[in-house]
Structure 1
């Protein structure tokens, strides 16, 4: 049985087979990924009404790919007061947001309580609002900085109202690449361990992969395989989110941005490889809205959400600072031949548009 027959038959493929998909005809690969997507989701494309809040850009780490943290490339440090954050939450909740997505830099000055108190305040005032917060990289930083175990930090997150974890900080799991692009940050094993502990508490999370910088195709496939292995164990990942590296204002000095062709191939391959992970998100913030819409034909069934404001990727050149209008978002999905479905943060359907 050849690889195409295996995929169409719903059989799992191995590392070498996954890598060989990069050499397949572009449109044939897209059709294969689309067949997997259609079996799982038909023509539905999910999104949610959400708001990203990035409360501080002061960071103890210096990752070469980052343009967001306050360092030599970004001389404008800020840390939001809780009142500012609550004003934003009040505003977006009144306009129908179902989720706040809170990710920060690794600020050594704010204190662990600063993080926990804002989660608790949001949950107390808006019990139905989903709080997605703290990447595994932040969990690792807080554990180290405040001399606590991962279990202790995770239990504090649960106690203070965090509902799910975002997938950030995964970058690329290969340690040689990791050592070059984000030395000193959470390791791949630690990242996977933190998410396993989170899943063991019955909680859901996402998982990302930053690609298009100095990594190889082999590194990408290895990353996907490790995700698949953990998902076999826990079933706790909601979505895989391939993040396209942004080239501006950082220290990796990657001259040529990755091509749209390579982005779509990687999307398609991830849909095929991650047979146990329900959702593939084309995160329009890093890929552009237009390419995310095309990615629906290459296996993606989720476009994230309206977002409203985003600071991390826009600092590196992404056109995401002010989000996308809801009606426009729905219209774009419809016009591309798919059915827009508003979802909550754990993929319960709220409204079919």
Structure 2
């Protein structure tokens, strides 16, 4: 890219003009600090120095899965021989304990267990909502929705209605991985397709509900695949307005079957955050999910467009199975101190980004 081309690209971003596939890919050619400056300007115009988080509890109720995803270290049908499926009583006990510790949300995602049955999945949400109606239930990725719909002869619309009837408040963004069909066929053949993932979220938004969107990067995909992924999300958001946050997930390298030799540098990860903030002008929040990026890099990502760090998590099994240091979550006081010491203002939010408490000074 020539100096003139670079200047024109920067000026387009500064004017707030939308970039397409080619220009979005060329953003990676800009130096890191330039991208950081452009993304930070967008972030600060919207949120100032506020950084959002919530007090939440991740629950992963089963690791038994019918699918074979090469990047997954969590599924018991692969390298992990220790299968488990929690009872409703166990799930309810975890939710109640988390609520006593101040959690406002339970984030429930797991594997595609063909033996558990739809009543096991939906019954867990119903029982949590019955016992703790003030807890926000964020549950079922689009991949899980697709699995349950197909295995029970239901349409997506019918499955979504059952989710709402049984207490699901919002959907997480998992299962998106990378939308490029060729890459997807290699890393998660047989899983929900990109078009199906987008359709499920379109229908969910059509019910007046909100969700998040993820992108798994740093494995076998190329930069242009990431840009394509973001632009497909931007297009759907133009239609529905239902996405709360975009969450770039950094691929975890341990205990899985992907043959990845070159992993993204910290610079590449930060560039991806910044580019996401620039391209996704219609998705309000950009989350640096510390469970995959590490807490240090997530804090630094605040200077590259990220305005959300997810939450305290308390316990997490899926990313930690592949090497992430998120297994035991993080204490609230430590989380707040880390955000404050990085020069930002910690803001506790609820699951739909209503501000609950600002931790000044």
TM-score by length of 2: 0.97
The match for 2:63 among 49, 57, 76 is 57
Task: Report the counterpart of residue 300 of structure 1 in structure 2.
Answer: 306
Pairing 1:327–2:333 present: yes
The answer (yes or no) to whether the contact 2:57–2:312 under 8 Å persists in 1 is yes
Q: What RMSD, in angstroms, separates the aligned Cα atoms of the two structures? A: 0.8
SS in 2 for 1:222: helix
Could you tell me which runs of 5 or more consecutive residues in structure 2 were left unpaired when the two chains were aligned: 1-6
Structure 1 residue runs of 4 or more that deviate by more than 2 Å after TM superposition: none
Aligned residues: 353
For 1:65 and 1:20, the matched residues in 2 are separated by 27
Pairing 1:208–2:200 present: no
Pairing 1:127–2:118 present: no
SS in 2 for 1:165: coil
Displacement of 1:86 in angstroms is 0.8
Displacement of 1:253 in angstroms is 2.1
Task: Report the counterpart of residue 230 of structure 1 in structure 2.
Answer: 236
Pairing 1:155–2:153 present: no
SS in 2 for 1:337: coil
The answer (yes or no) to whether the contact 1:46–1:301 under 8 Å persists in 2 is yes
The match for 1:118 among 105, 119, 124 is 124
For 1:72 and 1:241, the matched residues in 2 are separated by 26
SS in 2 for 1:297: helix
Displacement of 1:9 in angstroms is 1.8
Show CA shifts across 1:43-80 (max 9, x none): 11000000000000000001000000002311111000
The answer (yes or no) to whether the contact 1:247–1:253 under 8 Å persists in 2 is no
SS in 2 for 1:208: strand
The answer (yes or no) to whether the contact 2:66–2:77 under 8 Å persists in 1 is no
For 2:16 and 2:342, the matched residues in 1 are separated by 27
Say which is worse superposed, 20-29 or 166-175, in terms of deviation. 20-29
The answer (yes or no) to whether the contact 1:30–1:297 under 8 Å persists in 2 is yes
Pairing 1:314–2:320 present: yes
For 2:308 and 2:185, the matched residues in 1 are separated by 31
Pairing 1:104–2:110 present: yes
Task: Report the counterpart of residue 140 of structure 1 in structure 2.
Answer: 146
Could you tell me which runs of 5 or more consecutive residues in structure 1 were left unpaired when the two chains were aligned: none
Task: Report the counterpart of residue 22 of structure 2 in structure 1.
Answer: 16
Displacement of 1:255 in angstroms is 2.6
